[in-house]
Chains A and B, each alone.
Chain A
Amino acid sequence: MTGTLGTALVAATSIATHASWVDVGTFSVAAAIILAGAVGVVVARNPVHSALMLVMTLFGVAVLFVLQRDPFLAAVQVIVYAGAIVVLFLFVIMFLGVDREENIALEPLRGQRPLAIGLAVLGTTGLLLLGQVSKWTTGAPHVAGVDAGKQSNVYLLGKSVYTTYLFPFEATAALLVIAVVGAVVLARRPPAVTDPTIDSPATDTDTDTGTDTGPGPVADRNDPQAGGSTPSTETPSTETPSTETVSASEEARS
């Protein structure tokens, strides 16, 4: 973290000669927070830690929004992202009870991880080189409306949303309604008749990492027989026919 911060400081001060020291310092600290949080999201074993690192990254991005004279989006970023989306993530993690460590060293697809790292490094260097040899920012200035003037940022943004972008704004209302309905339909408990071909616990081949110490609190609540772990449900299923045949033979004898 301090190494990243130091390199960012040195690099930023070497190039941004015209920027003020406050801007350079704020940008460097925010960039270090963003990158540390992003790396933390990827490498954290516990999903709860990943979610908290995600909050860190989102907060750093909000700081950069403020630094670019965009306070409204910074506030929305903190409220919506850190306040709603990450809380939803944490709620689902706690609700499902998956807040246990994951075995990261296990690699089910051979060669996937080096390939992914190579692709990421290649893409990053390609984009950065492209930014060095060409101009990043091309295009006509203020096509959709000037972003500065006498009015505040919130005024201009609201005016643009309610005039130029009125139809997309209405479409987001429909999108949100559809998302809510979809979430309710998806999370609704299915009817009690379960398809035996999909989840019968005896045929459930457990190919997980070995961190699974039992069914957890999210075992199928519709099926009372799915309460135990896989071997313990297999043993009654092998014992039950034998007791039934014994009782049947006793009935036949009497």
Chain B
Amino acid sequence: MTISADWYLGLSVVLFSIGALGVMIRRNVLVMFMCVELMLNAANLTFVTFARQLHDIGGQVLVFFVLVVAAAEVVVGLGLVVAIFRRRANATADDLHLMKG
């Protein structure tokens, strides 16, 4: 018998909260991206746990798609960061107010 799903889900709750906390309190754009990755991993852990719990392959397939979307998101996001850093040498999230009216 393996560990019950409650422990996996509780762990992913805590992991998601740490990621959300990091997005809220950090100002470096790159670190905020990494915290988004933490939240995505918490969601992945939840998907795999439910897939095991319900004996359903769909959860694992969804984790596969989440990985693809995360890769695409990181590529575009880091492209944006590079484009922003080309204009400003030191960009935190507070400095990105070019579109403010």
Contacts and interface: CB of A to CB of B under 8 A. Distances in A.
Given A12-B7, A123-B20, A92 B45 contact: no
B48 A65 contact: yes
A68 B3 CA distance: 9
Contacts of B33: 89
Contacts, number: 272
Interface residues of B, number: 77
Nearest to A64: B45
Nearest to A38: B18
B17 A120 contact: yes
A175 B7 contact: no
Interface in B56-81: 56-58, 60-61, 63-65, 67-76, 78-81
A165 B67 CA distance: 15
Interface residues of A, number: 107
Interface in B1-50: 1-11, 13-15, 17-22, 24-28, 30-31, 33-35, 37-38, 41, 44-45, 48-50
A120 B16 CA distance: 9
A57 B60 CA distance: 19
A80 B65 CA distance: 12
Interface of B: 1-11, 13-15, 17-22, 24-28, 30-31, 33-35, 37-38, 41, 44-45, 48-58, 60-61, 63-65, 67-76, 78-83, 85-90, 92, 94-95, 98
Given A92-B78, A136-B6, 7 more contacts: A23-B2, A35-B14, A41-B31, A73-B64, A102-B27, A186-B80, A206-B90
Chain A to chain B: the 9 pairs with minimum beta-carbon distance, closest first? A144-B58, A186-B79, A116-B24, A179-B72, A42-B22, A183-B79, A18-B1, A120-B21, A38-B18
Interface of A: 12, 15-16, 18-20, 23-24, 27, 31, 34-35, 38-39, 41-42, 44, 47, 50-51, 54, 57-58, 61, 64-65, 67-70, 72-73, 76-77, 80-81, 84-85, 88-89, 92-93, 95-96, 98, 102, 108-109, 112-113, 116-117, 119-121, 123-124, 127-128, 131, 136-137, 139-148, 153, 156-157, 160-161, 164-165, 168, 172, 175-176, 178-180, 182-187, 189, 198-199, 204, 206-209, 212, 215-216, 218-221
